[in-house]
Amino acid sequence: MAEYTLKLRRYDPQSGEAPYYEEFQVDLEPHRSVLEAILKVRGEQDGSVGIRCSCRAAICGSCGVRINGRAGLACHTHLDHAATSGVNADGRTILVEPMGNMPVIKDLIVDMDAVHWKKIQRVTPWLINKQPVPEREYVVPHENMVDVTQTMACIQCGACVSDCLSMEVDPLFVGPAASAKAYRFVGDPRDAEQYERLKDLAEDPHGIYDCTHCFNCIEACPKGVAPMSQIMRLRRVSSADHEIEDRNNGYRHEHAFVKNIRRNGLLHEADLVPDSYGGKLHPRAVPELISSLPTVVRGLQRGKMTPAKALLHQHKAPKEVKRIFDVIEGRDQRLELNLYISGTEDDESEAQA
């Protein structure tokens, strides 16, 4: 048994008071979960502590909270790990707060309808059957179903939404959970509207190109759904398979970057911005270039960039790099290794497999 100090953020909406932190001392074995500790507090010390919980086994998704500032499931987080992680860890104190990006109803309970479920509903989260519907089952390749199982494994706990940094600055961002849900359909061969779903999310200024690529959702997810990876897959299918050139510069930026490296081997920043808008003389790029002028001027003034360097960056092996682009982009089908499906090889056993 070990002693832990649970520091819980309390909020009683009926009191008229601001939220406050309350500390509870609890004695439990170190491998027990933070949820067990909170339930012990609720059972023995203060029955008014509010937290959603049900299965205790990381499958129902009820107990999403922020522990030491990071979202996760309370039932899935061990006390000893929680007390020793983070810069301010003291081996005994565990800070538990409600999830972020969502309004707080009471204590550790947030209003998921207002944010999480609203966004899920926005992506038309039901199968739109490809016609004709067969008499028996749709025939679907084994790997396809396993692939979609990754996003099907989402338990809607909200941890990814809680910690999404794009959503912090842009509350309208469709978000990681809804994007993963969208991929569940885009990746399902039985769905009839792959193009429509992608076009919708690509053109939405708060859609898939609004993701700031920070990995917080991948880190927060207790089920390996890897929402950000699903967003990247949505982008990939949208741009490569459907050539959807969105108004948000997502498609153009991706292609500009790839073209840039293909040509130069290294990134030539000066080309990247205008090309992301459509090209140096493109009508769309001109206002952006004009508004970037002060920044460019400052850079030049400081000696950061010189016109010569900006335009004549030379790479030592341009032909070799180009060859790789040619070989791989010339393939009939994209090759993608999804570790969720293939797993990581075991040194000893898989060598023979």
Partner 1 sequence: MPSHDVLIIGAGLAGQRAALAAADAGASVAIISKVHPVRSHSVAAAGGINAALNPEDSWESHAFDTVKGSDYLGDQDAIEVMCREAPDEILWLEHAGVTFHRNGSGHLGTRAFGGASQARTYYVADITGQAILHVLYEQLMKHHEQVDRYEEWFTTTLLQDADGGCSGCVARDIRTGRLEIFNAKSVILASGGAGQAFRPTTNALICTGDGIAQAYRVGAPLMDMEMIQYHPTTLAENGFLITEGARGEGAHLYNAQGERFMERYAPNKLELASRDVVSRAEQTEINEGRGFPDGTIALDITKVPRKRTLEALREIVNIGKDFAGVDITREPIHIKPGMHYIMGGVKTDVDGQTPIPGLYAAGEVACVSVHGGNRLGANSLLDTLIFGRRSGEHAAARARGVAMPKAPAAVLRDAQGEIDAILARDGAGRRVSEIKTELGETMNQYVAVFRDAEGLSHALEVVRRLKEEAPKAAIDDKGSVFNQDVLAAIELGYMLDVAETIVLAAQERKESRGAQFRTDFPERDDAEWLHHITVSRGDDGAPRLATAPVTITKWQPQERTY
Partner 2 sequence: MKVAYWPGCVSRGFTPELHGSMAAVAPLLDIELVELDRASCCGAGVIAEHNQELADTLNARTFALAQQVEGAELMMNICSTCQGAQSECQERLDANGEYRAHVNETLAAEGLSYEKGLTNKNFLWLLVEEIGLDALRAKVRRPLTNLKVGPFYGCYIVRPTDRLGIDDEHPRDQYLHQVIEALGGTVIDYAGTYKCCGFPIITMNKEASLKQAGRHLGDAMDAEADCLVVPCPLCHLNLDLQQPVAAKVVDRELAMPVLHLPQLVGLALGLDPKQLGMSKHVVKPTSVIDWTTAVVAAPAAA
Question: Does residue 346 belong to the site contacting partner 1 (CB under 8 A)?
Answer: yes
**157: which 2 tokens?**
């706990």
**127: which 2 tokens?**
């199968």
- Phi then psi for residue 25, to 5 deg, are -95, 135
Nearest to 154 by CA among 181, 182, 190, 115: 181
Among partner 2, partner 1, none, what does residue 152 contact (CB within 5–8 Å per kind)? Answer: partner 1
List the one residue from 31, 118, 280, 298 that touches partner 2 (CB under 8 A). 298
Among partner 1, partner 2, none, what does residue 289 contact (CB within 5–8 Å per kind)? Answer: none
Question: Does residue 93 belong to the site contacting partner 2 (CB under 8 A)?
Answer: no
Question: Does residue 43 belong to the site contacting partner 1 (CB under 8 A)?
Answer: yes
CB atoms within 10 A of CB 104: 18
What is the distance between the alpha carbons of residues 218 and 197, in angstroms, rounded to a whole number? Answer: 23
List the one residue from 114, 146, 192, 258 that touches partner 1 (CB under 8 A). 146
Of 47 and 91, CB closest to partner 1: 47
Of 92 and 313, CB closest to partner 2: 313
Site for partner 2 in 108-167 (CB under 8 A): 165-166
Q: Give yes or no for a contact between 209 and 250, defined as CB atoms under 8 angstroms apart.
A: yes
Distances (CA, A) of 260 to 187, 209, 215, 279, 330: 30, 20, 25, 12, 18
List the one residue from 144, 280, 329, 334 that touches partner 1 (CB under 8 A). 144
Question: Does residue 85 belong to the site contacting partner 1 (CB under 8 A)?
Answer: no
- Phi then psi for residue 157, to 5 deg, are -80, -20
Q: In the stretch 116-135, what mask flags binding to partner 1 with x, by CB under 8 A?
A: ----xx---xxx-x---x--
Of 4 and 209, CB closest to partner 2: 209
**97: which 2 tokens?**
């707060």
What is the distance between the alpha carbons of residues 224 and 150, in angstroms, rounded to a whole number? Answer: 7
Q: In the stretch 301-340, what mask flags binding to partner 2 with x, by CB under 8 A?
A: -xxxx---xx--x-xxx--xx-xxx-xxx-x--xxxx-x-
Amino acid at 189: P
CB atoms within 10 A of CB 95: 19
Among partner 1, partner 2, none, what does residue 56 contact (CB within 5–8 Å per kind)? Answer: partner 1
User: How far apart are CB 285 and partner 2 at their closest, in Å?
Assistant: 10
Dihedral through CA 120, CA 123, CA 126, CA 128, nearest 10? 180
Question: Does residue 112 belong to the site contacting partner 1 (CB under 8 A)?
Answer: yes
Question: Does residue 329 belong to the site contacting partner 1 (CB under 8 A)?
Answer: no
List the one residue from 214, 245, 279, 286 that touches partner 2 (CB under 8 A). 214
Q: Give yes or no for a contact between 102 and 111, defined as CB atoms under 8 angstroms apart.
A: yes
List the one residue from 145, 153, 232, 289 that touches partner 2 (CB under 8 A). 232
Distances (CA, A) of 76 to 7, 56, 193, 220: 18, 8, 36, 12
Distances (CA, A) of 15 to 12, 19, 20, 47, 197: 6, 10, 12, 17, 45
**Stretch touching partner 1 by CB under 8 A, among 64-72, 146-154, 193-201, 234-242:** 146-154
Question: Does residue 2 belong to the site contacting partner 2 (CB under 8 A)?
Answer: no
β-pairing, 2-10 vs 93-97, is: parallel
DSSP 19: P
List residues near partner 1 by CB under 8 A: 12-14, 31, 42-44, 46-48, 50, 52-62, 76, 105-107, 109, 112-113, 120-121, 125-127, 129, 133, 136-142, 144-146, 148-149, 152-153, 155-156, 188, 190, 224, 341, 343, 346, 349, 353
